Amino acid sequence: MSINYSEKIPNNVDLANDRKLQRALEHWQPHFLDWWREQGPNDFASDEVYLRTAVGVDAQGWASYGHVKMPDYRWGIFLADRVADRTIGFGDHFGEPVWQQVPGELRSQFRRIIVTQGDTEPASVEQQHLLGLTCPSLYDLRNLFQVNVEEGRHLWAMVYLLHAYFGRDGREEAEALLGRHSGDADNPRILGTFNEPISDWLSFFMFTYFTDRDGKFQLKSLSESGFDPLARTCRFMLTEEAHHMFVGETGVGRIVKRTLEVMKELGTDDPGAIRAHGAIDLQTIQRYLNFWFSSSLDLFGSEVSSNSASSFANGIKGRPDESQYEDHVCADSSYDLETPDGVERVNLRNAMNEVMRNSYVKDCEIGIKRWNMQIKRAGYDTPLSLPSSRFHRSIGSWSNMPVDPDGKIIDRDVYERQLVDWLPTENDQAFVHSLMQRVAEPGKMAGWIAPPDRGINKLPVDYEYVRSH
Ligand code: BYC
Ligand code: FE
Ligand code: FE
């Protein structure tokens, strides 16, 4: 079904023919807009931003581009097309037809997962609330806002499911999604990373590289779900997600490129000299990378998890790219986990969080390789690297363990002392913040980041992506 833009809430779920649901969502809509005004990029409410908007759900030609004021963005409800005769691809219900309604006995488990997914979307907008004020270019400002409006739409995606399939509980949860706030002492967001401040653009690019990539993996695994509306919703969200990770990968890449230019110009790799020249030394970039990678690893949950076992068994949440595996039931398989106390053999279903985390780590490596190619080509052998997934963890068996970035358990005193080499220090943060000066002339770039190779939608880099009034 095509997207109907003549309605108050654009959708391809035939909302007009479900008056009760339509009314409930139209009641939630002004609350969403109030939240956007208070917690979103409201300093830019009257600017015209060159945004893409979904106009269809086909892989080809699904988006249109044009200047829009963000409060006028058409947030809507878009599900990927139904796959005929789809069956459940994993767990105890393997091979059975998918569900169009939530099975009663799985209601609370489904709700919990949908709420957790939904909670991250507005959280990220809150985290990035003030970044527009220090944009390094209009190109980057536009990308920030593109990511923000789409995370807002992802919230809509989950709120639709809550309203349509979870009755009064669902409506209450939808309200609560606007009540929790990132970093709020009394009513924080559910997952750790989404309460961390993102107050500079280096953090923003690390977040969109590492944390949006958790989004990719979680959405992929929910796209496998036996609850078909959830699967279809997440499948379409993944189309939008690709750009968020592109922003992260190219953002970090452009910072590295600029740093290398300065290193070449000055003929030194001394961090102090590089900083004095207004670029970010590779060591600082590595510390930010360590922080956001390790925090994002926590988002997969504990290595051994009865929640994940039951989600898998019940057909709620599969593995990303489930079809690539041979065994989709995994009832009797085991998995060898490396814990601080040695190798522990556990049931594979209980280790699904770890299975997912491992495929995520592999995906993270790809960008690192690209950044390192630049470093190598510039003639330096100081590559960036992912720290061990045991390093700096707050969830699971390695949480709060004194482990170095190579994954070795070390003396706690040594660990505490060395942390300044491994994670962003106050001094790093103060320095990075000092670089965050607004550059808002078409085509101009801040001095700490190289221009992108190309603009958006085949437009030149110096296009006026944001028109302010
Ligand atoms: N912080 O059995 P456990 C995205 C909680 S990102 C705080 O170990 P489980 C996006 C857990 O909730 C994708 N708490 O783990 C990116 C549970 O609490 P309750 C977001 C944590 O349940 C950028 C308890 O610990 N989507 O879309 O197997 C911008 C025991 O849990 C954390 C999803 O996450 C943590 N890091 O798995 C915008 C998908 N980790 O329930 C958007 C939906 C665990 O006992 N969520 N806990 O009170 C899930 O599938 C699962 O909830 C999790 C955890 C994978 C998160
Ligand atoms: Fe999202
Ligand atoms: Fe995203």
* Gap between the Cα atoms of 227 and 221, Å rounded: 12
Q: Is residue 410 part of a domain?
A: yes
Residue of 191, 354, 360 best suited for mutating to test ligand 1, as the one with most atoms within 8 Å of CB: 191
CA dihedral 408, 425, 248, 50 (to 10 degrees): 170
Chain centre distance of CA 144: 13
Measuring from atom 23 of ligand 1, which residue has the nearest CA? 212
For position 407, which CATH number holds?
1.10.620.20
445 CA from centroid of ligand 1 (Å):
37
Alpha helices of 267-351 — where are they, by DSSP H? 271-276, 282-298, 306-313
* Burial status of residue 14 (CB atoms within 10 A of its CB: 0-12, 13-18, 19 or more): exposed
Residue 106 falls inside a structural domain: yes
Q: What is the pLDDT of residue 351?
A: 98
Q: Give residue 148's pLDDT.
A: 98
Q: What is the pLDDT of residue 57?
A: 80
Fill in the amino acid letter for 445.
M
Ligand 1 atom, smallest distance to 311 CA: 28
Q: Which pair of tokens denotes residue 95?
A: 């091979």
Residue 5 falls inside a structural domain: no
Ligand 1 center to residue 301 CA distance, Å? 6
CA 199 to ligand 3 center in whole angstroms: 17
The number of folded domains in the chain is 1
The answer to the question of residue 456 being in a domain is: yes
Tokens of 400: 């709060």
At residue 54, the pLDDT reads 86
Characterize the bridge pairing of strands 342-347 and 48-54: unpaired
Q: How far is the CA of 354 from the centre of ligand 1 (A)?
A: 13
The CA distances from residue 17 to 52, 172, 229, 393, 422, in Å, are: 28, 23, 17, 48, 56
pLDDT of 1: 62
Task: Please check whether residue 38 lies inside any domain of the structure.
Answer: yes
This prediction's pTM: 0.98
Q: For ligand 2, an ion, list residues with CB under 5 A.
A: 121, 151, 154, 215
Query: What residues make up the domain containing 131?
Result: 15-467
Mean pLDDT in runs of 10 for the chain (469 residues)? 83 95 97 98 96 83 90 95 97 98 98 98 98 98 98 98 98 98 98 98 98 98 98 96 97 98 97 98 98 98 98 98 97 96 97 98 98 98 98 98 98 98 98 98 98 97 95
d(CA 135, CA 437): 7
Q: Is residue 111 part of a domain?
A: yes
Give a yes or no: residue 267 inside a domain.
Answer: yes
174 SS3 class: helix
Residue 168 lies in a domain: yes
Q: Is 353 in the pocket of ligand 1 (CB under 6 A)?
A: yes
Whose Cα sits closest to atom 13 in ligand 1? 215
